[in-house]
Amino acid sequence: MANILIVDDQANVRTAVLQLLLSCNRSDLTIDQATNGSDALRRLQAKKYDLLISDTEMPGMNGADLMHAVRADEKLKQLPAILMLAVGAGKQDVLDAVALGISGFIIKPFRPEQLRAQIKKVMGW
């Protein structure tokens, strides 16, 4: 069983990530969604997840703030996380994301195979 949390304020992005995960042909996936970092953090603290896929640019608690909270939480600090960086993200944005302790990243807009490669790298499938 693999529990995955997708976090993005845009429904179309969440749907695209969901469809990509479903296309992995794994019958053991449970996929939840959150629309912002605050909602995601509540979900992460209430249920064990095996992977977090999160946008960085969201109203309220953004992806960087979410990652700071995740890495500061003893129960969550080892959670694998893939960040979806905003279009136009540069070298400094990538370095900042890596400093947050992420497991992988992609830059929006992304092609399905880019996200699939990150998931394979992080999850091994």
- What pLDDT, on a 0 to 100 scale, did the predictor assign at position 16? 96
For 105-123, what is the mean pLDDT?
Answer: 94
- What pLDDT, on a 0 to 100 scale, did the predictor assign at position 96? 87
How much is the pTM?
0.94
> In the Cβ-directed half-sphere of 40, how many Cα atoms lie within 13 Å?
35
* Type of residue numbered 124: G
Q: How confident is the model at residue 24 (pLDDT cuts 50, 70, 90)?
A: confident
* Mean pLDDT (the chain, rounded): 94
Q: Tell me: pLDDT of 106 over 90.
A: yes
Residue 90 backbone phi and psi in degrees, to 5: -105, -175
Q: How confident is the model at residue 95 (pLDDT cuts 50, 70, 90)?
A: confident
CA distance 61 to 51: 19
Q: Can you tell me which residue has the tokens 């998931």?
A: 119
Q: What angle do CA 20, 24, 29 make, to 5 degrees?
A: 95
Is the bond preceding residue 109 a cis peptide, omega within 30 degrees? yes
- What pLDDT, on a 0 to 100 scale, did the predictor assign at position 94? 86
Q: What angle do CA 119, 56, 65 make, to 5 degrees?
A: 110
Q: Which two tokens stand for residue 90?
A: 């540069």
- What percentage of the chain carries pLDDT values higher than 70? 100
pLDDT tens per residue across span 29-87 = 999 999 999 999 999 999 999 999 999 999 999 999 999 999 999 999 999 999 999 88
